[in-house]
Amino acid sequence: MNKNIAVIKGDGIGPEIVTEAMKILDRTAEKFGHCFSYEQLLMGGCSIDVNGVPLTDETIERAKAADAVLMGSIGGNTSTSPWYKLPADKRPEAGLLKLRKSLNLFANLRPAVLYSELKDACPLKAEIAEKGFDMMIMRELTGGLYFGARETREIDGVMTAVDTLTYNENEIRRIAVRAFDIAMKRRKKVTSVDKANVLDSSRLWRKVVEEVARDYPGVSYEHMLVDNCAMQLVKDPAQFDVVLTENMFGDILSDEASMITGSIGMLASASLNDTKFGLYEPSGGSAPDIAGQNKANPIATILSAAMLLRFSFDMDKEADAVEAAVDKALKDGYRTGDIMSDGMKLVSCSEMGDVIAANI
């Protein structure tokens, strides 16, 4: 199978970690008889340096023409970089927000996995960490409180701020369908998180999710109030498979889930539209303090590439092979500096890529 991948290496450690992910994709293509071609695009600080803006219209069109987008990290040191002396809409991160909107990326996927080899880094009690966990936070990305009408004005002599939380049934249905589809590729369980005891938007959310669930008799599902979900994430995270929720709740819960894994350098993410198209990137930042030193952990970006194979290309066996190769590297004791512990083998960014590629 031939596929075209738009590559945005970005800033800071982005070029290093994306290079290793491409190494893994090339090895996977060789192993399974595919052909992946790449088109290099600029976004973020590197685009500001060349084009004067963080994202050009040409880059958007070229990204749309690809089968998927693989991205590194965007931005730099906010205290010292000249990029952050520019107006907010001209800074590196503005390019990412514009790209997500232009590509209609409404579904954000944030896996949170605790590898047994890294359980000591988990901040939870040992008896909880010992069980491990593997969940997918499915967050609606383009609606809700963050995108509703807002204003701050004086009413009867009192300054008053208003933010509006709005969802329609179509916005809810499309993210719910995507969540149940992904559950079919995993352990076939969906936990839909809302605040239906208080919010009308959550009551509509729950109604639409129940309608979608009827089309997936092989998937079990449950409703959970967001405050309970926040508690359950630290009490028994192993119970979760796919966690489906709206924008603000997903923003908070995905950060909580990432914290209990112990290392953000291990966390992949994806943002999908209503086709197979998606943008895949690590959850961490650009780490400008170690950029260019071959010290970065490429695993999050490599796992993002595995998600690209699974969700945009329907290459489940290939994605399984990449994830198994990462797992073997960890079991064999290979560590970059951020996850290093006594008795393990310290390797560079490129060496970790080599080890994982050899495992495929």
Active site residues: 146, 195, 227, 251, 255
Distance (Å, rounded) from C-alpha 227 to C-alpha 151?
A: 27
Burial class of residue 264 in the structure, from the number of CB atoms within 10 Å of its CB (0-12 exposed, 13-18 middle, 19+ buried): middle
CA angle 55, 57, 61 (to 5 degrees): 110
Residues 6+ apart with CB under 8 A from 125: none
- Radius of gyration of the chain, Cα coordinates, nearest whole angstrom: 21
Cross-strand partners of 71: 8
Cα dihedral 3→301→14→93 (10° resolution): 90
> Is the C-alpha dihedral spanning 74, 78, 81, 87 positive or negative?
positive
Cross-strand partners of 223: 192
Residues 6+ apart with CB under 8 A from 345: 332, 333, 334, 335
Contact indicator for 18, 25 with CB cutoff of 8 Å: no
**b/e burial code for range 25-54 (CB count within 10 A of at least 16 → b):** bebbbeeeebebebeebbbbbbbbeeeebb
Write out the two tokens for 110: 């944030």
Contact indicator for 279, 108 with CB cutoff of 8 Å: no
Helical segments of the chain, H only: 14-32, 45-51, 57-65, 92-102, 126-129, 169-184, 200-213, 226-235, 247-259, 299-307, 316-331, 349-359
